[in-house]
Chains A and B, each alone.
Chain A
Amino acid sequence: MHQRQRRSKRLLLTVLILIAAAQLGVGLLLDLDPLKVRFRPAESIIANLCEASRHPDILFLGSSRFGDGIKIGELQKAMNETFGKEAPLMVNCAFPAADPYSMDFLLRHILRRGITPAMVVMEISPETVMLGGPYQGGQVTRILTLKDMPEAAADLIAFGKLTELMDSRLIPIYTFRMELLTYLFGDSPPYLAPPAGILSPVPAPTAAKAQAAALPRNVSRVEKENRLRLIQSARPNVQSWLRGFRIKGLNVRHLESMLAYFQTHGIAAILVGVPVTKMHFECYSQEINLKFLDYMNTLARTYGCRFVDYRDRFADDLFYDHHHLTPEGGSEFCQVFQEEVLCQAWRKGPMTSRRTE
């Protein structure tokens, strides 16, 4: 009887130790190179950059908002027409749920491979410079390693991401199962759709997106109403993102560290207040707006970068949800941005310094 008790105890202990060891081991292996398994979109961006025959002159860094809004082909064509041989080569490095913390991570990896752009255009919005921010939980899954803990843990815990933090450290096999299986088998298994609300705060509705892509600007009244309803329904979500708005934390530190690097290395930087719908813009209260604009001015003064605000410049029917532009909206945004900002910035900045060299 005692022997059976002892044996059972030993068995349970062994199983527990082995499970803990497996979790720890896999967690450490994943930490070695987060790009390989956990952050595949970033890896493919870097791979594409490395494979290109020429290094890009202008990098666009942003989230899916830039992914939809920046029509890089159209923008490149317009720049080629304006500058001819002196036109910059541009690459859109947007990836889902990007914020300054994850952009800095990607940028560091790009720079490490010897790719140094002459100009960086970065997406910015109040929600991506605030403490926490909607994409922060996703960064725990994609970026955070054990050695980042001293810097990031306090911020993440303060913003209520303790569960994500514990999951990623204590049960990495479970937390990163989709990433692991996708890495091992090349495709994500059917039972594991990306968890909504983690990597993308409002999952881009693919059906709506496809429909929007097919819709001309003069859509019917019913379609307009449907789209408006979809936009309005996101109000509580946006309001919850902005709750307790404070400009500090991981995003701010990484944004400033990037800008400081650009300043020291002579890389021109443009911060673009990304277009959003009227409803989304209304969620930026006067106080939030003031703080945000004040911070942007401080950044411009301190790091010599430029801030351009496109947040409330486009009509709602150019969006397929509250913060993603339709293809038509993207074209319009690119045209305006190219005419108002990009041409001038390229002419005055990197192009001139190249000529001087």
Chain B
Amino acid sequence: MLFHTFPFFLLYTITAVAYWSMKDEPKRVWWLVLASIVFYAKWNPWLVSVVLFTAAFDFYIAQRIEAATSVRRRKFLLVTSLLVSLSLLAFFKYTNFLIDNGRLMLNLFGLELSGTTLKVVIPLGISFYTFETISYVVDVYLGRIKAERNGSNYALFLLFFPHLIAGPIVRAGHFLPQVRRRKFLNWERVQVGARLFLLGLFKKVVIADQLATLIDPVFANPGSWSSATTWVAVICYAVQIYCDFSGYSDMAIGAAHGLGYHLPENFNMPYFSLNIAQFWQRWHISLSTWVRDYLYIPLGGNRYGTFKTYRNLMITMLLCGLWHGAGWTFVFWGFYHGFLLAVHRAVPWPSWLGKKILIPFRWATTFLLVCIGWVFFRAQNFSNALMMLRRMFIPTEGLVLTTHVAMLATGVLALVFLAHVLGAMVDWRKLEWPIAFPLVAAGMVAGFLLVQILMPANGGAFIYFQF
């Protein structure tokens, strides 16, 4: 069930109305768990059992960890939990990747492996909820939080439908206290949530989905397009993926607000980053902080010398790439970002680079480097990615955009740039009260109607659903 479809609006409205009319907090929690199961089951009723199994297993293990007295037993339980969670993730997401690569390896030695790839349906959001449950068990193990004793509370932490499919990746320490707290209907919060949801819808439908019509043909057949068109497509993809994913996050955060929950911010104008390290502090924040806290720091972070710091950085980013998708292009994308982060760390940048006048130049450079990474992220395979890069950097003739598509791209890119500039100058969420009431209402209505008019025919699934 996609956030921007009529069935979701219906489910959300019914859920929210019934939720706020209930007086009893535990009943409300059960109600939200039920709504989340319905939300997930609408896509695949059988795979709900996988999510429920993960939830039940780690709920039990965390309590055992807390009750265990010996360090050895605690460690054993932690490793068991991690093994189960990661095995499920590996089975559903990486089995075919491993089979394909195993077959390639055997071919190198002249051996033929018969059989085809498995038909595995990847449970939606498995990468997201696996990370959530891992962080919970690790936090209990490290004593950062107490193990949750209430099954429904824990189920809601993992299943809460606004963040279930594509994040933001929530931490138990942030979410569980909210579940336990008594909540009151706050119209101001509902209104903020509605505006955030609308903003997300706008980003998704008006920007991301419109750009897809331009981008998809170029990435599908990269050898046919001119250098200029390839550049436009790559830049547009950078904008598309940002609007698609941050749009989803905005909708998730907005939907959660309407039910009295707060989800963490996931994006903070990432394309106005001064360097690649800052980009990762602003892009998919919930993932980047997760890999920092549960991968980079446990590996040693920057505490054990220069070599190990770079090693940890590379491992973290390679795994981050692999997390996004079972493909070598994703692994390379992770490697590329690890390399950029390492270079950023290694080079003693001159102090004059910090001058204000150079800020736009630094934004542009970071954006350009990120765009090159997106080529690998989006391309169907390495040869396509390399072909696109060749066309980007060696002027080549080829198909060009029609005037109306070029106008669409320019308009959309200008809109996103303007929004970034505005966002960098003011916090738009605080702008609300000085603006006249009718203007806010008219803006919301116009935005909603525009979204409806521009909704693509196939519903336009979110890019991050595949991860």
- Could you tell me which A residues sit within 8 Å of B by CB distance? 4-12, 14-15, 18-19, 22, 163, 167, 171, 173-174, 177-178, 180-181, 190-195
Contact = CB atoms under 8 A, between A and B. Distances in A.
Given A18-B441, A173-B453, A167 B186 contact: no
Nearest to B438: A14
B457 A11 contact: no
A174 B455 contact: yes
Ranked nearest first, the 7 interchain pairs of A and B with the lowest CB-CB distance are A8-B191, A8-B187, A174-B452, A9-B187, A8-B188, A18-B445, A191-B456
Given A4-B188, A18-B445, A191 B453 contact: no
B445 A181 contact: no
Contacts of B448: 15, 19
Contacts of A191: 209-210, 212-213, 454, 456-457
Contact of B437 (A11, A19, A177): A11
Contacts of A15: 194, 441, 444-445, 448
Interface string B186-215: 111011101000000000000001101100
Given A5-B188, A191-B454, A191-B457, A22 B449 contact: yes
Contacts of B455: 174, 177
A8 to B, nearest CB: 4
B440 interface: yes
Contacts of A195: 457-458
Contacts of B454: 177, 191
Contacts of B445: 15, 18-19, 22
A188 to B, nearest CB: 10
A5 B453 contact: no
A177 B210 contact: no
A173 B452 contact: yes
A12 B457 contact: no
Interface string B126-150: 0000000000000000000000000
A177 to B, nearest CB: 5
Contacts of B213: 190-191
A178 B209 CA distance: 15
A6 B188 CA distance: 8
Contacts of A190: 213
B211 to A, nearest CB: 10
Interface residues of B, number: 28
A193 B213 CA distance: 11
B352 interface: no
Given A5-B187, A12-B190, A167 B456 contact: no
23 contacts: A5-B187, A6-B187, A8-B191, A8-B192, A11-B437, A11-B441, A15-B444, A18-B442, A19-B445, A19-B448, A163-B6, A171-B6, A173-B452, A174-B6, A174-B455, A178-B457, A191-B209, A191-B212, A191-B454, A191-B456, A191-B457, A193-B458, A195-B457
Contacts of B457: 178, 191-195
A6 to B, nearest CB: 8
Given A5-B188, A191-B210, 9 more contacts: A8-B190, A12-B187, A14-B441, A18-B441, A19-B449, A171-B452, A173-B449, A174-B6, A195-B458
Contacts of B210: 191
Nearest to A6: B187
A192 B456 contact: yes
Contacts of B433: 4
Nearest to B437: A11
A177 B187 CA distance: 32
Contacts of A194: 457
Main secondary structure of the interface of A (DSSP, over half): helix
A22 B454 CA distance: 16
Contacts of A178: 457
A9 B185 CA distance: 11
Given A171-B6, A174-B455, A177-B455, A11 B449 contact: no
A277 B289 CA distance: 61
Given A18-B441, A22-B445, A191-B209, A181 B453 contact: yes
Contacts of A177: 452-455
B453 A11 contact: no
Nearest to B205: A191
Interface in B411-459: 433, 437, 440-442, 444-445, 448-449, 452-458
Nearest to A191: B456
**Quick one: which of A173, A180, A195 has the most chain B CB within 10 A?**
A173
A217 to B, nearest CB: 35
A228 to B, nearest CB: 25
A119 to B, nearest CB: 39
A259 B188 CA distance: 61
A9 B20 CA distance: 15
Nearest to A14: B441
B368 to A, nearest CB: 28
B78 to A, nearest CB: 45
Contacts of B452: 171, 173-174, 177
Contacts of A7: 437
Contacts of A192: 456-457
A5 B449 contact: no
Contacts of B6: 163, 167, 171, 174
Contacts of A18: 441-442, 445
Contacts of B187: 5-6, 8-9, 12
Contacts of B441: 11, 14-15, 18
Nearest to B405: A190
Contact of B453 (A9, A163, A180): A180
Interface in B109-166: none
Name the residue in B192, B442, B444 with the highest tally of chain A Cβ atoms < 10 Å from its Cβ.
B444
A274 B103 CA distance: 52
Contacts of A19: 445, 448-449
Contacts of B437: 7, 10-11, 14
B74 to A, nearest CB: 47
A180 B454 CA distance: 11
Nearest to A4: B188
Which of B6, B190, B453 has the largest count of A CB atoms less than 10 A from its CB?
B453
